[in-house]
Amino acid sequence: MKTKLCYLLTVFCCLILASCSTDEPAFTLSQNTFNDIPPEGKNLSLQIQTSSEWTATSLNKDWCSVTPVTGTGNGTISIEVSGNISKDRTGTIVIYCNGTQTNININQKALPEGKELLYRIPVIFHVLYKEKNNPKQYISANRIKTVLANVNQYYKGRTVATGGEAGQNINVEFYLPETDQSGHQLEAPGIEYVAWNEMPIDCESFMESKNSKILNLLWDMNKYINIMLYNFAEIEDGIILGITSLPLSTQGKNYLEGLQSVEYTYLENSNLPYPQCVSINTLYFNQDTPNNSYNSADTNVTLAHELGHYLGLHHAFNDKTEDPNADSDYCMDTPPYNRSLYEQSVMIPTYQAWKASNRDMAVLEPGFLRTNCLNPEQTFTSYNLMDYEISYSDRFTPNQKERMRHVLEYSPLIPGPKRTASTRSATPQGVLDIPVIYEICYIH
């Protein structure tokens, strides 16, 4: 009888322990499904409660990312879902804890036909400096923040000086990310300061470099635009303010004229033999345009101009020596002009007269005029951001917007959702034989 009683007590204790184990699971999550994520994308939060170690992995890293990816004890997992212009989709986040796998489903709608997505693109500024005390090398975080805010005004179609409507709203917003690629907090949002012994730097050699030291600076080009800030080496007959890689284009029906084509819809940093990025000359990064004056080295304009190149725009003038009267920017609504002829006959004498007159703006006025090289009887005033020298440089045109939107929606190695997302190619292995093509912003 005593033995039987002990046996029953043992069974009873086991049932109690099992009940406690059932009532207190190893970990709990605030939810296991996120439905109806909007096409514009969204940042989600997932609460985890546990006393154990855990890991979080996204099975759809190209459009759904998680941070942090590991932790111990209670925590919050941030899930960033990017925009969707392809079709409705479901992603999966996998949580591992105490040998148990739990799947979190992410259900996102596609952008309705005819609606335009706002592209929010993170940019990372890599500030290369030799002398930390030199303000023309170690650019302040406040200055970078101010310049990028002004650039965003241009991309919204507004003039920086007056805040008025000027041109096309590209529906693109550049922002400074709070964390690095691994989810760690940045000391200054969107900025990485890098000690660099070689200064100044030959910007063309930099853009053509196959040196791993330079290539390793670049963050994932499918997620960020990399902007390099450094002192450019001097050239003999002018100043280079910026230099930028042109994007690539897919082949076939989605090919964009004027860009280097590749057979892949998806590439990674390791596939390029050169750094695809924007480079800005920090010797002029602190320059703005004074009131009632003019400054062709205005950095706000320079960065807006260079980002235009990064998104597929060419200069709004013709500098092709083989056919100086051709329209070379593939945009029908930007009248072309012969830049060499303009420099010699208009720009240089106008600048000289303007400086001699103590910068009287009335003397500078003729320099804003251009002659259409396809119709010499037609003159026009230069307002385009893809022009430079003496120009108001405050707007883009509808055709330029179309090119940039096409690059955003189809080009590999450009951040943001793609229309080819559901049919993207496999990532090729190794470095591809792709030529270096870039545009230079050069002034006298």
Give the ranges where 201-360 is alpha helix by DSSP (H): 203-208, 212-215, 299-310, 339-342, 348-356
Amino acid present at 172: V
Find, among 229, 351, 358, the residue nearest to 283 by Cα.
229
Instruction: Answer whether residue 19 shows pLDDT above 50.
Output: no
Instruction: Report the pLDDT value the prediction gives residue 10, as an integer from 0 to 100.
Output: 53
Q: From residue 355, how far is each of 288, 351, 382 by CA, in Å?
A: 18, 6, 20
List all residues 6 or more positions away from 86 whose beta carbon is below 8 Å from its beta carbon: 110, 417, 418, 419, 420, 421, 422
Mean pLDDT of the chain: 90
Contacts of 378 (CB under 8 A, 6+ apart): 335, 371, 372
- Bridge partners of 244, per DSSP, are 278, 439
Q: How confident is the model at residue 11 (pLDDT cuts 50, 70, 90)?
A: very low
CA–CA distance, 366 with 354 (Å, rounded to integer)? 10
Specify the amino acid at residue 337.
Y
d(CA 148, CA 143): 9
Residue 322 CB coordination number (10 Å): 5
pLDDT at 262 over 60: yes
C-alpha to C-alpha distance for 339 and 358, rounded to whole angstroms: 26
Q: Which pTM does this prediction carry?
A: 0.88
Q: For residue 240, give Cα distances in angstroms to 233, 353, 437.
A: 9, 23, 16
pLDDT digits (tens, 9 = 90+) for 71-123: 999 989 989 898 888 888 998 999 999 888 999 999 998 888 888 899 999 99
Question: CA–CA separation, 175 vs 299, rounded Å?
Answer: 17
Judged against a pLDDT cut of 90, whether residue 227 lies above it is answered with yes
Pairing of strands 278-281, 225-230: parallel
pLDDT: is 8 or 94 the higher one? 94
Mean pLDDT of 168-187: 93
Q: Is 62 helix (H, G, I), strand (E, B) or coil?
A: coil
Q: Over 80: is that where the pLDDT of 222 sits?
A: yes
Instruction: Give the pLDDT mean for 224-241.
Output: 95
Rounded Cα–Cα distance for residues 217 and 198 (Å): 15
Q: Which of 101, 93, 109, 111 is nearest to 35 (CA)?
A: 109
Compute the distance between CA of residue 414 and CA of residue 256 in angstroms, rounded to an integer: 14
- Annotate 374-396 with DSSP letters as a single string: T-TT-EEE--BTT--SS----B-
Rounded distance between C-alpha atoms, residue 241 and residue 283, angstroms: 9
- Which helix (H) or strand (E) segment holds residue 443: the answer is strand 438-443
What pLDDT shows up at residue 209?
Answer: 96
Of residues 348, 335, 346, 340, the one with CA closest to residue 376: 335
Domains along the chain with CATH numbers: 29-116 (2.60.40.10), 119-335+380-443 (3.40.390.10)
3-class SS letters over 225-263? EEEEEECECCECCEEEEEEEECCEEECHHHCCCCCEEEC
354 burial (CB, 10 Å; 0-12 / 13-18 / 19+) is buried
One-letter amino acid of 163: G
Q: What percent of the chain has pLDDT over 90?
A: 70
- Could you tell me how many residues make up the chain? 444
278 to each of 24, 112, 309, how far by Cα in Å?
A: 54, 33, 9
> What's the rounded mean pLDDT across residues 219-245?
95
